[in-house]
Each structure stands twice: as C-alpha cells, then as structure tokens.
Amino acid sequence: MARRIPEMLEQSATLYFGPWYRKTPFTDATRRYGCSSYDIYNHTYLPAYYDDPDTEYWALVEDVTLWDVGCERIVEISGPDASRFINTLTCRDLTRCEVGQCKYMPVIAQHGGIVNDPVMLRLAEDRWWLALADSDAGLFALGAAANSGAKVSISHPPVYPIQVQGPKAKATLESLFGEEILDLKYYYCRQADLDGIPVVISRTGWTALVGYEIYLCDPSRGDDLWERVISAGKPHGIRPIAPCEPRRIEAGIFNYGSDLTLDNNPYEVMGMERLVEEQEAGYLGKTALERIARKGVERRLVGIELDAPRLRAELAEYWPVHSGDRRVGHVTDAVWSPRLEKNIGYVWVPTQLSAPGHELEVRMPSGSVTGRTAAIPFIDPKKKTPLA
C-alpha cells in the first residue's frame, strides 16, 4: 500500500497537488497527529510517515495502531443481479459467500490477468462492496456490467475506512462497540452505529494480526470517529501510524501495482493459486486460467532474503536479479524485518528457481548482494495470529 522513502532524492523536484487528488475525512486529523509525508493511492492522499519505521512496527506488533486508509476506494455492486454479476468478476466461488462475510477476491481479466485484489464485503443479499487496491478497477466493473445484460448498479459510495490493528485492537473496539464486537469472526463484517456515526466494521486488515477496519459511511463525521478511536485506545497505547511494510511482507501480503499487476495471473503468485476455485459458473478469464493451469507457468513471485546491510527505505524501482551471468527476474520490494532481524521481500524468478533456497545475485543501487528465495509468509504461515 504505502511505499515509504523518507530520505531525500539526490535530484529533488517540486510536485504540485490539486483538487484532482482527494483528501479523506481523516486527512486533517493525520496532519494534526504528526504525519509528515504522504503517498498518492487511488488518487487519494495516504499517510506515509509519522515516526521511525521501527517505532511504528513495534507499536503495531505489541499494542494497537490507527491507520487512515480512506484511499481504499469502495466499489458498490447492488441490484437484483448483483450476486450473479459479481461472481463473473473473480475466480473465487462467491455462491458460497454468506451475507456478512468478507473474502480476499482477485478480479480477473479475460486473459487471466489480475485486475485488482480487493477485500470483498457482502453487506446484504444484493449489496456487495469491493475495497480496492490502487487501480481504477471500478471502471473495469462498469465496463463488464455494461456488456453483461445484468440488472446491476455500480457506484462509488462515500465510504472511507480506517484500520485499527494490533493485539490490543479487540480491547479498543470493545470500548467503542461493547462486548458483542468480540463475537465478530475473522473475515466477517457487520453494520453498526457509534452514537450516530454510521459505520461498517470488518475483522480484516493489511497486517495478518488481530485487527479491524471501520468503514465510515458519513464523511462529515471523520474527525469525530478518529477522536473516538483515539480516546478508546489511549489506555492501550494507541498511536497513528502509516501502513506497515515490514509486517505486510512478513505476512505474505501483496501490494497491487508493484508486487503484481495485470500482466500476472494467480498461478504465478505463491499462495494465490488456491483462490482459483472449482465452480460450475463461468467468469471472465475462466477459460484462460484453465489453459494456464494445464500448461503451467514460467515464472513465479516468491519470497527472498537478502544478505545486505539493514535496509533503511523501500525500493524506488525494481532491483534486477541474476543467476550466473543471466538476468532472471527482479525484486519488487524489500524491507528490514525487526522481528526476523533480516532483510526480506518478494522476487519474480523463473519457476525452476522458485523453490526456497536458490541463491541469486541482487543488483541494488549501492552494489550487488546475495539473496536466497524463500517461502511466504515469512511468519505465521497458518495465519493463527489473526484468528485469536
């Protein structure tokens, strides 16, 4: 989500920002609480830096944190044919999705490529939300709907999420919504009202830790919601932070647009092949994915560990990877993991080099270092932590 590079570039430039970029209902609060730099994500300001990344990491892993992720643009699919239509957009079988359930949902193009990888929330029988990663996938849904003949409405409702993440997130949410919030299962959601502030709460997040996303449904109440969460979290040490790159890479979570793009399909991405679910219904790209499954893939996105001095900032561009004298792929992202005490990241390599332990030469801007392919997730592969 965020790509934090607090260091100044050697050649600086002036960037002009205007009303074509969107603020969230929480942007003013983030500035008030010390955010000093922003990224642009889904045409929206995304906090990128409050404090030292290690400080933010340990606050997330040990206590509770608050993120402004109002940049997760919401696409709403509703109407009499909404359930049938949304099932044509993904390789997941949504006929098995309950009302109140959430799913990680790759949107698939006709050639089998990944258009986006949102979290999906089913709010009602005929009402679905997609919380988009950085792309204009809402336009893809509009185009697909126009040619589908389905009785369906595609819209961008004024809904803006924040994330409350970390082991003390449950206690924070309990202070706000009462004991019944503790019954909300991982990857489920419910509608709620916080003293007149309409929200949807989901047990999801970009961390694979215990956490929640609170979707604000009245943008005029952004500051109210922010301050209510801060107040509820104060006894638990809450602090606002930016999306945490080390934790999401430890957890095997991908960043659409950098780790994977429209040129990639689920069979190429370690762990994502399980999301191509057997189903009778047709969907865009189904024929292409069946062909890819039969043929196999020539490259894969896997983990990598780097024998390098501690990385202080994320990549500004891909790093070439060589095996012998041949370039074989590139590193998409790499960070220092405070818990593992090593540099970890993701790398695209030929399938024959994708098993854990293959040694590679990674050509960083500062010089070449040795890397080794690794399985992902790096920590908690069974996802036991968020289920707690």
Q: Is residue 236 part of a domain?
A: yes
Last residue of a domain, one of 120, 155, 190: 155
Q: Supply the pLDDT for residue 10.
A: 45
Contacts of 103 (CB under 8 A, 6+ apart): 92, 94, 97, 119, 120, 187
- Same domain assignment for residues 53 and 166: yes
* 238-260 per-position pLDDT tens digit: 999 999 999 999 999 999 999 99
Residues 291 and 176 in one domain: no
Residue 364 to residue 345: CA distance in whole angstroms:
13
Same domain, 262 and 370: yes
Q: State what percent of residues in the chain have pLDDT above 70.
A: 96
Is 216 in the same domain as 313? no
Both 262 and 145 in a single domain? no
Flag whether pLDDT at 374 surpasses 60. Answer: yes
Instruction: Give the whole-angstrom CA distance, residue 8 versus residue 141.
Output: 38
**Would you say residue 378 has pLDDT above 60?**
yes
Run of H or E residues at 123? strand 119-124
pLDDT in tens, 321-333: 999 999 999 999 9
- Residues 237, 330, single domain; the answer is no
Residues 66 and 165 in one domain: yes
Q: What is the pLDDT of residues 340-372, one digit of tens each?
A: 999 999 999 999 999 999 999 999 999 999 999
Residue 14 within any structural domain of the chain: no
Question: Residues 50-89: pLDDT tens digits?
Answer: 999 999 999 999 999 999 999 999 999 999 999 999 999 9
Class of residue 138 by CB neighbours under 10 A (exposed 0-12, middle 13-18, buried 19+) = buried
Whether pLDDT at 11 is above 80: no
- Give me the domain span that covers residue 243: 27-72+158-248
Last residue of a domain, one of 155, 180, 204: 155
Average pLDDT over residues 215-236: 98
CB 78 within 8 A of CB 86: no
For residue 9, is pLDDT > 90? no
CATH of the domain at 123: 3.30.70.1400
Query: Does residue 284 share a domain with residue 331?
Result: yes
**CATH number of 223's domain:** 3.30.1360.120
- Locate all alpha helices (DSSP H) within the chain, ordered by sequence: 27-32, 53-62, 82-86, 137-146, 169-177, 222-233, 245-250, 286-295
Distance, CA of 341 to CA of 316 (rounded, Å): 22
Amino acid in the structure at residue 113: G
* Local confidence band at 15 (pLDDT 50, 70, 90 cut-offs): low
Domain boundary residue, one of 205, 226, 248? 248
In a domain, 187, yes or no: yes
pTM: 0.95
d(CA 95, CA 103): 12
Same domain, 87 and 124: yes
